[in-house]
Chain A
Amino acid sequence: MNARNPTGAWFEGLEPDDVDGAAEAVRDGRATTPREWAAEAVDAGVVPDEEAYYEWLHEATLAAATAAVATYERADDQQLIHAIRALDDCQRVVNELTERLGEWAGTHDPEARVDTGYVRSLAERDPESPAERRLVTFAGRIVALEDETRELRAFVERSAPEVAPNLSALAGAELAARLISLAGGLEPLAKKPSGTVQVLGAEQSLFAHLAGGAPSPKHGVIYLHEGVRRAPPDHRGSAARALAGKLSIAARVDHYSGERRPELDQELERRLERIHARGRE
């Protein structure tokens, strides 16, 4: 509190036509004691009457909330989709380059191997010829790209639960991000029937099935979930179906309410437990 702003009122020091300033004041201001703000604004001559006050407040609160929602939406599922796709690209390129390096290094070093540990040791080496210098800096690039991959993974782990708290709790951050990416966003994922979610990522086998002949795919990318992977082979289809059902519900809750619902975790756990038990009978 200071002399210019003795009560903390959001409208202190503002002109009534300043909607941006008002929105900012609504967003950032604080006051521990609420007061009859409408009456005070009129008494202070900031607005002619209470009607004008409420009109201004309506504009200011709506502008502040709309701006906050827009900022949030920019930062959400689309960013996650780019991150998981970049992660996959990095991973694929690291693998390709590691193989290329192994092949090349084999001509210089009988100990050469196609693995990360070897790439890292090579990157530290002192080169003895122009060709070796290229090899060593090449290895350095691969190491840097691997580090980037790890950073991207950490980013996905951090932001998936913000974008889709329930889906991430049930599926794990990475699988949640993959499902959102395959669907093209959280909203499209929330709108898909669970049978579609079950085979997301298995489009090739699905089309082979639809074209005739091939069996229908039991699962797409949700195979990455250990509830499906650990299920007895005969019951993997049921596990995939059950999981897809719960993941769809989680995605809908995330999209339409955004509220965390811990009971979903338990429902999924119980359901999968029953399916796994069937296999042990």
Chain B
Amino acid sequence: MTLPDGVERRRIEGESVLSTRGEPISDEPTADGWRRWDPHRSKLGAMLELGMETGLRGGETALYLGAAAGTTASHVADFAGPTYAVEFAPRPARELCTVAASRPNLFVLLKDARDPASYGHVVEPVDVVVQDVATRGQARVALENRVFLREEGRLLAVIKARSEDVTADPEQVFEEALAELRDGYEIIETARLEPYHDDHLAVIAQRR
């Protein structure tokens, strides 16, 4: 597996870990300006740690859906080009604003990922959509946002089983989500994110 340019495995606090170079967030572990990218706190980090072929090269234009407090979005902005971070909940967005303030290529949008037209006037066509939204209808969100992907553009999504149905069997939820995704995407690779995140399925897909 190849890591994108700008993501490196480095020794931080005595451990060999994934890291990106950028302004640190609060008191996270760093070494020589490289910030630890903790796969336990970031699903995209877990995808890279598990060796999935994300197709990321570094420098791409990215749309990040479900940026929350900006932990992962900040790492993406560290190695990518223009990065649009969409988050609906105002509370985590305060932290996200702080993270974006020191990253000129990170654009915060307080918008609902289920309503792409509400940010279509700002977001340009992108090389990659990263999706981590904890709402019902996660496959739907990916389909709705397909409009932002360039030809050959990739979707890196995580499906959280509990967001769809707390009581259902996760495998069942994943199968239904994948079936729905195939309406607009070709699935390239999937993997469960254990031991980093329980009941999450990572999906790498290409726009069809």
Contacts and interface: CB of A to CB of B under 8 A. Distances in A.
Q: Is the A/B pair a real complex? A: yes
Interface of A: 8-10, 25-27, 29-38, 54-55, 57-58, 61-62, 64-66, 68-69, 72-73, 254-259, 261-263, 266
B110 to A, nearest CB: 5
B73 interface: no
B51 interface: no
Given A62-B101, A68-B90, A37 B122 contact: yes
Interface string B116-134: 1110111111000000001
Contacts of A37: 121-124
Given A33-B147, A61-B108, A256-B91, 12 more contacts: A8-B121, A30-B117, A30-B118, A32-B117, A36-B124, A37-B121, A58-B107, A62-B97, A68-B110, A73-B90, A259-B89, A263-B162
Interface of B: 68-69, 82, 89-94, 96-97, 100-101, 104-110, 116-118, 120-125, 134, 147-148, 162, 166
A54 B109 contact: no
A69 B147 contact: no
A9 B119 CA distance: 10
Nearest to A254: B91
Contacts of A32: 116-117, 120, 147
Given A57-B107, A69-B94, A257-B68, A31 B120 contact: yes
B112 to A, nearest CB: 12
B134 to A, nearest CB: 5
B125 A35 contact: yes
Which secondary structure characterizes the binding site on chain A?
A: helix
Nearest to A9: B121
A56 B37 CA distance: 29
A34 B148 contact: yes
Contact of B147 (A34, A61, A64): A34
B19 to A, nearest CB: 23
Contact of B92 (A35, A256, A261, A263): A256
Nearest first, the 3 A-B pairs at minimum CB distance are A258-B91, A72-B90, A31-B121
A255 to B, nearest CB: 7
Given A258-B90, A258-B91, A69 B120 contact: no
Contacts of B116: 32
A54 to B, nearest CB: 6
A266 B109 contact: no
B141 to A, nearest CB: 15
Contact of A38 (B101, B108, B124, B162): B124
Contacts of A38: 82, 124
Contacts of A259: 68, 89, 92, 134
B69 to A, nearest CB: 7
18 contacts: A9-B121, A10-B122, A25-B121, A26-B121, A32-B116, A33-B120, A34-B120, A34-B125, A35-B125, A36-B124, A58-B106, A58-B107, A61-B107, A61-B109, A65-B100, A256-B91, A258-B92, A259-B89
A30 B120 contact: yes
Nearest to A66: B97
Contact of A257 (B91, B107, B118, B121): B91
A221 B109 CA distance: 39
Contacts of A263: 162, 166
A4 to B, nearest CB: 14
Contact of B104 (A54, A64, A72): A54
Given A256-B69, A257-B92, A262 B162 contact: yes
A37 B126 CA distance: 11
A26 B105 CA distance: 16
B124 to A, nearest CB: 5
Contacts of A256: 69, 91-92
**Residue of A255, A257, A258 most packed against chain B (CB within 10 A):** A258
A266 B90 contact: no
B123 A266 contact: no
Nearest to A32: B117
A263 B117 CA distance: 31
Contacts of A73: 90, 94
B122 to A, nearest CB: 5
**Residue of B69, B96, B106, B110 most packed against chain A (CB within 10 A):** B110
B124 A35 contact: yes
A61 B87 CA distance: 12
B166 A262 contact: yes
Nearest to B103: A58
Contacts of B166: 262-263, 266
